[in-house]
Structure 1
Amino acid sequence: MGATEDKIKGNWNQVKGKLKEEYGELTDNELVYEEGKEDELLGRIQEKTGKTKQEVKEFIDSI
C-alpha cells in the first residue's frame, strides 16, 4: 500500500474535508471510503474533477 492509501485510511475525515474545499463539486456520495477500495475512490475523484490520478494522489499526499 502506498503513502496515499495510508493517508486515506488513517485520516479520511481530514482528507475528505480538504478534498471538498479544493474541489467543491465533489459530493459525499462520491467521497464514500471503503477499506480496500482506495483505487475506486481515486477514480471517482478523478472522474469528477478532471484531474489525473497522479494529480489527485499528489494533492492528498500534500494534506
Structure 2
Amino acid sequence: MRKIAIAAASALAILAAVPVIAAPAYAESATWLKIEGNWNQFAGKVKQQWGKLTDDDLTTIKGHRQELVGKIQERYGIAKAEAEKQVDAWEKTQKVN
C-alpha cells in the first residue's frame, strides 16, 4: 500500500511540474477551419471587407483567426471585442464546401 501511495505522490509531483497550455478563448468553427485551409481563396474576400489590410497583413495572417482580429483591431483602431464581432459576422456570410 505504501508503494502505491509513493507512486501516486510521485505522479502528482510530475504532473504539477508540467506547464499547462491554455486553450484559446474561442473554439475555431468548422467554417473557420475551412477558411484557414483555403486562405488564398478567402484573402481577397477579407481585403474587400477590410480594405485597410495590406497584402503583407494578409500574408502574415495566413488564415489564423486571432491574427486577423488583431490586424483589424490595429488598422481600424477598434477594440478587440468589436474586431471579433466583425470577424464573426463576416465568417457567417462565407460559403465554404
Same fold, TM-score > 0.5, yes or no: yes
1:53 — aligned with what?
Answer: 84
CA deviation after TM superposition for structure 1 residue 55, in Å: 1.3
Name the SS of the counterpart of 2:55 in structure 1.
coil
Q: What is the identity percentage for the equivalent residue pairs of Structure 1 and Structure 2? A: 39
Give the TM-score normalised by structure 2. Answer: 0.47
List gaps (5 residues or longer) in structure 1.
Answer: none
Name whichever structure is richer in helix by fraction.
Answer: 2
User: How many equivalent pairs are there?
Assistant: 61
Q: Max radius of gyration: which structure?
A: 2
Q: Higher relative contact order by CA 8 Å / sep ≥ 6: 1 or 2?
A: 1
Name the SS of the counterpart of 1:19 in structure 2.
helix
Match of 1:17 among 27, 44, 48: 44
Aligned ranges 1:3-42 → 2 under 5 Å: 3-32=30-59, 33=62, 37-42=64-69
Runs (4+) of structure 1 exceeding 3 A deviation are: none
Give the TM-score normalised by structure 1. Answer: 0.64
